[in-house]
Chain A
Amino acid sequence: MNLLADKKIKRSQEPMASAATPDLDPGSQTAEAADRYMSRGSGPVARARTQVAAGLKPAAGLPDLKPMFEVQDLNLYYSKFQALKHINLTIPAHQVTAFIGPSGCGKSTLLRCFNRMNDLLEEVRIDGRILMDGRDLRGPQTDVVELRTKVGMVFQQPNPFPMSIFDNVAYGLRCQGIKDRVYLRQVVETSLKKAALYDEVKDELDKNATKLSGGQQQRLCIARAIALQPQVILMDEPTSALDPIATLKIEELMNDLKKEYTIVIVTHSMQQAARISDKTAFFLLGEVVEFDDTVTMFNNPSDKRTEDYISGRFG
Chain B
Amino acid sequence: MSRQAFDKELESLFSSIGALGAKVEQIMDDTIRALRIHDVDLARRIFTQDPDINAAQNNIEQFCVNLIALQQPIASDLRGITATLKMLTDIERIADQCADICEIMSTYPEFVNMPTPAPVLRMFEVAREMFSAAIDSFMRRDAALANQVRHRDDEVDTQFSNVILEMSQLLQEDRTQVSQATDYMFVAKYIERMGDHATNIAEWTLYAITGNRKAMAEDQAGHSKPLG
* A contact residues vs B (CB 8 Å cutoff): 29, 270-271, 274, 298-301, 306-307, 310-315
Contacts and interface: CB of A to CB of B under 8 A. Distances in A.
Given A270-B74, A271-B72, A311-B73, A300 B1 contact: no
Contact of A274 (B1, B74, B210): B74
Nearest to A304: B223
Nearest to A306: B75
Contacts of B72: 271
A298 B1 contact: no
A306 B76 CA distance: 11
Interface in B1-18: 1-3, 6
A313 B76 CA distance: 12
Given A301-B75, A311-B74, A311-B77, 15 more contacts: A274-B74, A298-B78, A300-B76, A300-B79, A300-B211, A306-B75, A307-B75, A310-B74, A310-B75, A311-B3, A311-B75, A311-B76, A312-B3, A313-B2, A315-B1
Interface residues of B, number: 15
Contacts, number: 39
A203 B227 CA distance: 60
B2 A299 contact: no
Closest 6 pairs between A and B when the two form their complex, measured CB to CB: A300-B211, A315-B1, A312-B3, A298-B74, A307-B75, A311-B75
Nearest to B4: A313
B77 A315 contact: no
A101 to B, nearest CB: 13
A271 B69 CA distance: 13
Nearest to A309: B1
A299 B208 CA distance: 10
A272 to B, nearest CB: 12
Contacts of A298: 74-75, 78
A314 B74 contact: no
Contact of A299 (B1, B6, B79): B79
B214 interface: yes
Given A299-B211, A300-B211, A314 B1 contact: yes
B150 to A, nearest CB: 13
Interface in B74-124: 74-79
30 contacts: A29-B214, A270-B74, A274-B74, A298-B74, A298-B75, A298-B78, A299-B74, A299-B75, A299-B78, A299-B79, A299-B211, A300-B76, A300-B79, A300-B210, A300-B211, A306-B75, A307-B75, A307-B76, A310-B75, A311-B3, A311-B73, A311-B74, A311-B75, A311-B77, A312-B1, A312-B2, A312-B3, A313-B1, A313-B3, A314-B1
Contacts of B77: 311
Nearest to B72: A271
A301 B2 CA distance: 18
A315 B2 contact: yes
A29 B213 CA distance: 11
- Give the residue among A29, A271, A298, A312 with the most B Cβ atoms within 10 A: A312
A112 to B, nearest CB: 26
A310 B73 CA distance: 9
Contacts of B6: 312
A270 B73 CA distance: 11
A311 B74 CA distance: 6
B74 A300 contact: no
Contacts of B211: 299-300
A82 B10 CA distance: 39
B75 A300 contact: yes
A55 to B, nearest CB: 39
A311 B3 CA distance: 9
Contacts of A307: 75-76
Contacts of A314: 1
